[in-house]
Amino acid sequence: MKTRTEHDSMGAVEVREDRYWGAQTERSRLNFPIGAGRETMPEEIIRAFALLKKAAAEANRRLKPEKMTEEKREAIARAADEVLAGELREHFPLVVWQTGSGTQSNMNMNEVLANRGNAIAGKPLLHPNDDVNMSQSSNDTFPTAMHIAAAEAVAMKVLPAAERLTEAFRRLEEENADVLKCGRTHLQDATPIRFGQEISGWRASLEKDQEMLRAALQPLWALALGGTAVGTGLNAPAGFDRLSAGLIAEETGLPFVTAENKFHALTSRDEMVFAHGALKALACDLMKIANDIRWLASGPRLGLGEITIPENEPGSSIMPGKVNPTQCEQVTMVAAQVMGNDVTVGIAASQGNFELNVFMPVCAYNFLQSARLLAESMDSFRERCVNGIRPNRDKMRENVERSLMLVTALSPKIGYERAARTAQTAFREGCSLKEACIQLGYLTAEEFDGCFHPENMA
């Protein structure tokens, strides 16, 4: 393998000739052989870095034109656009398990943009620190990249997927507005409910989750860029923070602004905790909904069997014909992963010491994994399960008719204790509520029929 010699402040390093990264990236690649090829810096962070470097070059061009020439700005922007287009992914090899400030990933981007920009210019035009990193520090760029990546993931992936799933439940709710079934509390029979009402609970839960996600986006719009090393803005020109944030907002179409307090923006990750809490809330509701659906579909003969769901693949290597609720299972596993990630995000956010948090890569990694998994899980669940849910009307009707909790309709007429005795007698003797009520002498057949209307109980 051919190499070239690159230099940094520690000396010379040999780097693969066909890669645009430089000495600092290579040192990190060699010093952190942890999860290589598996747990690399998320693509969303790489994209966010390219966005902010492009914006920073434009801001520097306007504020420091004597240093950021138009030729340099254009070379940086063109190289950044290639990163945004996904053309240079193999030039970002670094893993999550590196320095807690993400300095090496910042330098990875600086080196790639510098070397690719030089190739575009056809001459040694750009320096990774002096030009690509102008007016910046890893300490403000990585938190900025985190917020850009997290906000884009929530706004452009999670929320749209949640909206699509909500709409699927809304259609299902309307289609089943008239279907009467048995309600259940404590996993025990309860009073009747309409299937459309049950589905409305799922739909409303997702709508509430979307409200919380939108609220959680607000703090993420604030960017640390311009705080540089410790929040003072050292080496950044006046107005760089506001201008660069405005340019990022323009590029993304999202309302990013500069953080009011850069000391907070560098050391606190509370916005990530808050936003991931909304992701966890969504995961909790998805866990509940998926479990409801697989319980309702259990059987097909010996379970509840009140609904059918699509049969996507064989469910057993030994039992022929068995089909399992696999889409429900993937949702519940994703939910469990998100709940676990929430612990990591919280612990990482608690590790701000003085002017910097040094758990940022793992915080970003877990947050973005949660967002990706939730978005992809909801789309798969909708396409391969929810859209194919059908009520088993005969089974629902049978269960309603056999439910002892229909006795609740008799309470206003005969009282709670007599109604309870009626249900207990019916259960013990295996007869109907009507037969038990007449046998106990509480009502005549005509009186029973007059106050017993299950369809009016929902």
CATH number of the structural domain spanning residue 111:
1.10.275.10
Q: Report the 10 Å Cβ neighbour count for 48.
A: 29
What pLDDT score does 101 carry? 98
Q: Which of 371, 169, 159, 394 is nearest to 290 (CA)?
A: 169
Q: Quick check: is 251 in a domain?
A: no
What pLDDT score does 113 carry? 98
Residues 35 and 174 in one domain: no
Q: Quick check: is 410 in a domain?
A: yes
Report pLDDT digits (tens) over 251-295: 999 999 999 999 999 999 999 999 999 999 999 999 999 999 999
Residues 24 and 107 in one domain: yes
Residues 181 and 98 in one domain: no
Question: Given 69, 102, 134, which residue is the final one in a domain?
Answer: 134
User: Active-site residue 186, yes or no?
Assistant: yes
Residues 124 and 22 in one domain: yes
Amino acid at 429: E
Mean pLDDT of the chain: 97
Q: How far apart are CA 444 and CA 438, in angstroms?
A: 6
Q: Quick check: is 240 in a domain?
A: no
What pLDDT score does 56 carry? 98
Q: Quick check: is 155 in a domain?
A: yes
Amino acid at 422: T
Find the domain containing 198 and state its range: 140-230+260-393
- pTM of full prediction above 0.85: yes
What pLDDT score does 179 carry? 97
What pLDDT score does 228 carry? 98
Residues 321 and 420 in one domain: no
Report pLDDT digits (tens) over 306-349: 999 999 999 999 999 999 999 999 999 999 999 999 999 999 99
Q: Quick check: is 236 in a domain?
A: no
pLDDT band at 13 (very low <50, low <70, confident <90, very high): very high
- The residue from 244, 276, 316, 377 that is catalytic is 316
Q: Quick check: is 253 in a domain?
A: no
Report pLDDT digits (tens) over 220-250: 999 999 999 999 999 999 999 999 999 999 9
What pLDDT score does 334 carry? 98
Report pLDDT digits (tens) over 112-140: 999 999 999 999 999 999 999 999 999 99
Q: Quick check: is 243 in a domain?
A: no
Token look-up 């999670």 returns: 158
Residues 150 and 275 in one domain: yes
**Domain tally, the chain:** 3
Question: Given 105, 134, 163, which residue is the final one in a domain?
Answer: 134
Residues 100 and 157 in one domain: no
- The residue from 7, 135, 138, 186 that is catalytic is 186
Residues 274 and 333 in one domain: yes
Residues 207 and 345 in one domain: yes
Report pLDDT digits (tens) over 372-420: 999 999 999 999 999 999 999 999 999 999 999 999 999 999 999 999 9
Q: Which of 424, 426, 428, 421 is nearest to 442 (CA)?
A: 421
CATH at residue 154:
1.20.200.10
pLDDT band at 16 (very low <50, low <70, confident <90, very high): very high
Is the C-alpha dihedral spanning 52, 58, 60, 62 positive or negative? Answer: negative
Q: Report the 10 Å Cβ neighbour count for 215.
A: 12
Q: How far apart are CA 346 and CA 351, in angstroms?
A: 9
DSSP bridge pairs for 357: 352
Residues 68 and 130 in one domain: yes
Question: Given 134, 162, 195, which residue is the final one in a domain?
Answer: 134
What pLDDT score does 343 carry? 98
Q: Which of 181, 122, 138, 119 is nearest to 25 (CA)?
A: 138
The answer to whether 373 touches 161, Cβ cutoff 8 Å, is no
User: Active-site residue 127, yes or no?
Assistant: no
What is the SS3 assignment for 258?
strand
How confident is the model over 203-217, as a mean pLDDT? 98
Q: Report the 10 Å Cβ neighbour count for 434.
A: 17
- 219, 402, 410, 432, 450 from 420: Cα distances, Å: 54, 16, 10, 14, 19
pLDDT band at 421 (very low <50, low <70, confident <90, very high): very high
What pLDDT score does 367 carry? 98
Q: Quick check: is 246 in a domain?
A: no
Residues 219 and 362 in one domain: yes
The rounded percent of the chain whose pLDDT value lies above 70 is 100
Residues 279 and 193 in one domain: yes
CATH at residue 433:
1.10.40.30
